[in-house]
Copies of this chain bind each other. A is one copy, B any other.
Amino acid sequence: MSADITTARRGRPRSEKARDAIVHASIELLLERGVAATTVDAVAVAAGVSKATIYRWWSTKETLAMDALYQEWATTSPAVDTGSVRADLRTLLCPWAELAARRPYGRIIAGLLVEVVSNPDFALEYRARFLEHRREQGRVILQRAIRRGEIPADTPIEIVLDMLYGPVYHRLLHGHAPIDDVFVCQVIDTVLDGIKPDPADRADAAS
């Protein structure tokens, strides 16, 4: 990942100032206009940088958009152990949902999803950086809950994760309803209540 500190690199070193300016300009333009309407030329101008410098470090506009989004999106609240699943999940999801709602990140995510659904390599990279990291934190919480006996041992964890993140992404991308704490808490509650049901109610589920 990081260059060997003893390996001296020849030539002029990469300008960190330029990198920061590019990522910063990108995120602003992307949030304002979305991926499609953000041109690399515009980023270059806004960052006070040459277009060649951008393409030297990012092979496509989407790769740059991914890095730019990651910069903001990766503020990871560690999966703290509060003692209860419910609180753990709230601690995990609420700050993230708040972040998602604060600015139109949906514009960038939608643009990246276009690439995800068509470009398998990009999809791998995208999921690793934006989905898997957060899912892993949820997974830890759920497994801890199993150990604690809060939820059944046969809980379908992957599906539960989709039920926690899916509704938030749904509103983020479609914009038909707001993403607020009430919404997130209700989702968490319903999921948690749903995975430890009263057996008596499930009589008709077998049909």
- Contact assessment for A114 and B111 in the assembled complex, using a CB-CB cutoff below 8 Å: yes
Q: Which residues does chain B contribute within 8 Å of A204, judged by CB atoms?
A: 84, 86-87
- Contact assessment for B117 and A107 in the assembled complex, using a CB-CB cutoff below 8 Å: yes
- Give Cα distance in the complex from A114 to B36, angstroms: 8
Q: Which of A113, A177, A192 has the most CB of B within 10 A?
A: A113
User: Is the C-beta of A171 less than 8 angstroms from some C-beta in chain B?
Assistant: yes
Interface size classification for chain A: 35 or more
Task: Spell out A's residues near B (CB within 8 Å).
Answer: 33-37, 84, 86-87, 104, 106-107, 110-111, 113-114, 116-118, 123, 127, 131-132, 156, 158-160, 162-163, 165-171, 173-177, 183, 185-187, 189-198, 201-202, 204-205, 207
Can you report 19 A-B residue pairs in the complex whose CB atoms are below 8 A from each other? A35-B114, A36-B118, A110-B113, A110-B117, A127-B175, A131-B174, A159-B183, A159-B187, A162-B167, A162-B171, A162-B187, A166-B167, A166-B169, A169-B170, A190-B190, A193-B195, A193-B201, A193-B202, A194-B195
